[in-house]
């Protein structure tokens, strides 16, 4: 069975914050960001909503896309195209 990886973007409307990550289990990861985590960046800006997902067949591809989205150009793209700000 082939693992599928997802690069995702979370948005906190209450705080106007973006979080970018990748995972092989988006549902569990989202649950962790919104409910389970007891420390870290995402705890402070709950609740989060998923505003973007992109699927990849390898971890390396997902990590590369995460890095692109975390660049200043990537964050501009997120604000303009995905969040329409």
Fold of 5-82: GIY-YIG endonuclease (3.40.1440)
pLDDT digits (tens, 9 = 90+) for 28-80: 999 999 999 899 999 999 999 999 999 999 999 999 999 999 999 999 999 99
What's the confidence (pLDDT) of residue 4?
93
Please state the φ and ψ torsions of residue 44, each to the nearest 5 degrees: -70, -20
Where along the chain do its domains lie?
Answer: 5-82
**What is the number of alpha carbons within 13 Å of residue 70 lying toward its C-beta?**
12
Per DSSP, the residues of 11-22 read: EETTTTEEEEEE
pLDDT digits (tens, 9 = 90+) for 1-16: 467 999 999 999 999 9
What's the confidence (pLDDT) of residue 85?
79
What's the confidence (pLDDT) of residue 82?
87
């Amino acid at each position: 069975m082939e693992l599928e990886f997802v690069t995702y973007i979370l948005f906190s409307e209450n705080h106007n914050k973006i979080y970018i990550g990748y995972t092989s289990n988006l549902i569990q990861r989202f649950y962790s960001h919104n409910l389970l985590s007891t420390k870290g960046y995402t705890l402070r800006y709950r609740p989060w909503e998923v505003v973007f997902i992109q699927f990849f067949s390898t971890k390396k591809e997902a990590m590369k896309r995460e890095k692109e989205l975390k660049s200043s150009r990537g964050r501009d793209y997120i604000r303009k195209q995905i969040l329409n700000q």
